[in-house]
Structure 1
Amino acid sequence: MALRIKARHAVKPAISTWNGTLPLSQLDQIGVITHTPLIYIYNKPSPNCSSHDEIIEALKESLSRVLVPFYPLAGRLHWIGGGRLELHCNALGVELIEAESSQEIIELGDLFSNFEGFEDLVPHVDYEKPFGEIPVFLVQLTWFRCGGIGLSTNMSHAVTDGLGAFNFIREWANLARGEPLRGSPYLDRQILDDGGKTLVEELPYVDHVSSFPTLPTLIGKADSFEKRTKETIATTLLLTKSQVDKLRKAANREIQHDCDQECPHSRFEAVAAHIWRCTSKARQHRSEQMTALSFYVDSRRRMDPPLPPRYFGNAVVNVIASSQAGELISRSLSHACRKIREATNSVTNEYIRSMIDFLKEQKSLSTYQDRTALGNTKGIFHGNPNLGVASWLNLPVRGLDFGWGEEIYMGPGSHDFNEDGDVMILPGYNNDGSVVVVVLTEEENQIMGGKIKACYVVKPAEPTWTGIQSLSELDQIGVIKHIPTIYFYDNVAIKDWLSPPNKIICTLKDSLSCVLVPFYPLAGRLCGCNAKGVELIEAESCQVGELMSIPLSHASQKIREEDKKVTGDNISSMIEFLEPQSSALFSFHQRNPSKEEKADRRTIRFLSSPSGMHHHRHQSICATEIEKHQTKTCCKVKVNATFNWTI
């Protein structure tokens, strides 16, 4: 992604604010203490909206005003020893970056997949600087080529948790739209530390060493170092409202038989438990393997007295549910939900107060901090056999309008969200009760991937013509690699069709063999029709939900506009141009070229329309000989038999 920084602005509170040192609570200084980025993507504002200059000025002015009640965000953090921090409220301001991107929104694809250039959309935090020089809050406004807008933020997690951060951003948006503040933040962190040393004597004993346990490792492994260095793949899933309702119904199936009138299991409990079980199944854990699910619980309403609703600081505590994998998988979804409920219910007023006192007594808090972004690789690792879940289901993450409409996409922009076992659970894009789940797993343990059961080579059912078949000029431009497609089928429909599954494979093989007779080129190799056959792979996977696509409303219109440009004259002109270039293969968007291809690549420009519509395109000529492709299968089929667990 080509991105140009247009300007950097230091935005300070609009009027003088309190100046001094704000002590941080013990909960502020454990877990993630570095910055947590967010990304909002917006369609092009309507013509009656403000200009670029007016938009950036409105953002600066409203940000300056909202920093008055939220003045800690304009300060700087400083180390004070013992792995502890304090916040200097000095009104040095926040950093607002204005940038331009050469890309259109439609080219971004799935923002969860960490595509190349993803980091450019997020304001960079330079941790090489002295800590006291790093802004607590950074913002970046990116103008896309299509006119769309990207607004990303990066806020220090040591200053506040997710609820505090989203409340601040919404108040900023209110001011940008010309509306008043809906409430002021409660900034006094001492409310968490009230009680002093007497708490240790007055409150029941809680062993908080067990609150920060060493997570289980794989049987036979002494530590998790090898696992945390492996490449991961992000799988983005959408659970529809009906699927979420089905999960909750299954999770609550056993509650009606209890006599203690237990509360129904929540969306989070049902979805997290389902992901936990599915991941353990996909990882093929042994029955005796211990596995843990780590997640955060908001303590605001669990304290006595409760914290003020507008408390601005960290009020979440990390808890762990654990189980043997065999027990987790073999027993019901309700059982897994109960494990999560038990961990949640452990967070009581006594637990929180005694945890705070426990942390006060520690000489250093470094042991309890995640410093991955600071280059420390010895922090908490939630990878195989464990999961670390961050849920935003109860946070006000959707519907952020700064004056040019609500976002079409919202998600984390975290550079730290890249380790095996990281899970994000967010509300669906349309606030329709659906749930978006992002799961990072090792490539071989993909939840939407699977275990290869068998590989077959399927050849035409009867002899077909053999020989060299010349390709047209149009065959050899554009994408010349394989194009994958995928279809999902309901398990009920499959049962109505054929059973058991081995009959499905036999039917697919027989029908594929027959259809390859008239379509014999697909059984060849580039560029010879030799009936060597196609590859059919049978696999098993663990189905969690449906794949999600980002709802970009203008995508179909873009495709239609380009389609109208393809006329008879356009095609004839293109073929005439390409014929002299027969010694090379053309590639518009050939990904991951080899070193040899990169060395032979040269760029040309040509006019593709003789009718006066001069449409310029940059093309890459790759001197890749046809012989290099002769060993590659032209067609590959993969059949996944899904575990659609009875829930």
Structure 2
Amino acid sequence: MGIKVKVIKTEVVAPRQPWSEHWLPLTNLDLVVPPIDMGCFFCYKKPHDKVDMVDALKTSLSQVLGFFYPIAGEIVPTAAGELKIHCNYRGVDFTEATADVELWELDFYNHDENIGVKLMPQEHHGVLAIQVTMLKCGGMVIACLFDHRVIDGYSMNMFTTSWANMTRSQPPSLVPYFDRSDLKPRHLKYYTPYVANMFFPLSNLPSPESDSDNELDLNQHSRISRIYYIKGEQINGLRLLASENGIIRSKVESFASFLWKITASFLEDSGYPGYICNIAVPVDGRRWLSEGEGVEKEKRMAERCGNVFSIPFRGIRAQVNKDFKSVYKLSCHVFKFLRAGLRRSFIQVQ
């Protein structure tokens, strides 16, 4: 579906009450993140109140940036070539736009084709860029593009939730924590082989094994993003199928196992049982780094804004048993493996 978007205005929204200008170092957990952007978007129906939502959003954005001040800065290399966050209160790029489409017409399943291209900011000069697009029906789409080297998904949720609260004249969801003393960068004298084997470029992921005479082009798209709508009773059904001996498995474990199974089954049914089907699970490390160290440390880690995550992965061949519980048991072994090394990985990088 072709969407025509008209940009009305682009400006920079700065914090209302800036702190003193300073530099903030990246932690070791920030430094392992490549220079990529991550985005999120929120869709709203036409509000009942006759209020200028764009002005209200800009006002509350200026307020919330006073709490999340590094997001209003820039990543700048120092004279020594070390990347740091320059908290100069530059602000964030804010774009107002209109689109000739109604909310119900948006293709959320294949959102890269419309929202990702037309309604998402395409570039930014600071840490964050925002585009607010008003739709024909009176609804709107708020899209945010973050520099992943500064924040992770957990921190992004902290920011957007606080911004939403302050738009409703409520206090922020929590006051973020930026002290680097417990996760500060450091130069080790040596790295153990365990650390050397734990992190590597995404381009070095193992290639699928295949028959060279009948190769499946799995690299036709480097990345395909999808949004799935899943009813609660369907998730509960998967959890019951995956559970045994009275132990109810988590939603993530159950659905990830199911998704892994059907993906591998598709490859097998397509005649490519030798391909490796990988699964990667982003995991928040805040609990792992504060577990057993007291309430104060747990509270501080819960408020930490930055990168505190890891993406462990494992792979299985496409040739799998069609029985869900059998595949789930295999997935359980993988999840146990991922958990076993997860805490060590956070501590090593820390």
| TM-score category (smaller protein) | 0.7 to 0.9
1:154 correspondence with 2:145: yes
- Following TM superposition, where does structure 1 have runs of at least 4 consecutive aligned residues deviating by more than 6 angstroms? 81-84, 198-201, 231-235
Indicate the residue corresponding to 1:312 in structure 2.
Answer: 305
Structure-1 separation of matches of 2:109 and 2:243:
34
Amino acid at match of 1:122: M
The total of aligned residue pairs comes to 334
In structure 2, relative to structure 1, the CA distance for the partners of 1:290 and 1:151 (3 Å cut) is: closer
1:299/1:317 contact within 8 Å kept: yes
Amino acid at match of 2:252: F
**Pick aligned residue for 1:167 from 130, 153, 158:** 158
Amino acid at match of 1:345: R
Indicate the residue corresponding to 1:373 in structure 2.
Answer: none
In structure 2, relative to structure 1, the CA distance for the partners of 1:19 and 1:347 (3 Å cut) is: farther
Indicate the residue corresponding to 2:339 in structure 1.
Answer: 345
Deviation at 1:15, TM superposition (A): 1.6
1:290 correspondence with 2:276: yes
Deviation at 1:186, TM superposition (A): 0.7
Structure-2 separation of matches of 1:82 and 1:325:
48
2:22/2:86 contact within 8 Å kept: yes
Kindly report which structure 2 residues correspond to 1:481-500, keeping only aligned pairs within 5 A, or say none: none
Could you say what secondary structure the match of 2:178 adopts? coil
TM-score normalised over the length of structure 1: 0.47
Indicate the residue corresponding to 1:564 in structure 2.
Answer: none
Indicate the residue corresponding to 2:25 in structure 1.
Answer: 23
Q: Structure with the greater relative contact order (CA < 8 A, sep ≥ 6): 1 or 2?
A: 2
TM-score normalised over the length of structure 2: 0.83
User: Which protein is bigger by CA-based radius of gyration?
Assistant: 1
In structure 2, relative to structure 1, the CA distance for the partners of 1:238 and 1:81 (3 Å cut) is: farther
**Pick aligned residue for 1:74 from 72, 75, 83:** 72
1:274 correspondence with 2:267: no
For the aligned residues, what is the CA RMSD? 3.2
1:593-625 Cα distance to aligned partner (Å, 9 max, x none): xxxxxxxxxxxxxxxxxxxxxxxxxxxxxxxxx
Unaligned runs of 5+ in 1: 127-133, 257-262, 357-647
In structure 2, relative to structure 1, the CA distance for the partners of 1:238 and 1:65 (3 Å cut) is: closer
Indicate the residue corresponding to 2:9 in structure 1.
Answer: 7
Unaligned runs of 5+ in 2: none
In structure 2, relative to structure 1, the CA distance for the partners of 1:113 and 1:186 (3 Å cut) is: closer
In structure 2, relative to structure 1, the CA distance for the partners of 1:328 and 1:90 (3 Å cut) is: farther
1:74/1:91 contact within 8 Å kept: yes
Structure-1 separation of matches of 2:231 and 2:123:
36
1:141/1:149 contact within 8 Å kept: yes
2:107/2:114 contact within 8 Å kept: no
1:115 correspondence with 2:109: no
Could you say what secondary structure the match of 1:60 adopts? helix
2:41/2:144 contact within 8 Å kept: yes
**Pick aligned residue for 1:336 from 321, 330, 337:** 330
More strand by share: 1
2:36/2:147 contact within 8 Å kept: yes
Identity of aligned residues (%): 23
2:109/2:227 contact within 8 Å kept: no
2:320/2:327 contact within 8 Å kept: no
Kindly report which structure 2 residues correspond to 1:49-448, keeping only aligned pairs within 5 A, or say none: 49-50=50-51, 52=52, 55-79=53-77, 85-110=83-108, 112-116=110-114, 118-125=116-123, 134-193=125-184, 197=188, 206-212=194-200, 214-220=205-211, 227-230=218-221, 237-253=228-244, 255=245, 264-284=248-268, 286-304=272-290, 305=293, 306=298, 308-327=301-320, 329=322, 332-356=326-350
Structure-1 separation of matches of 2:130 and 2:216:
34
Moved more, 158-167 or 231-240: 231-240
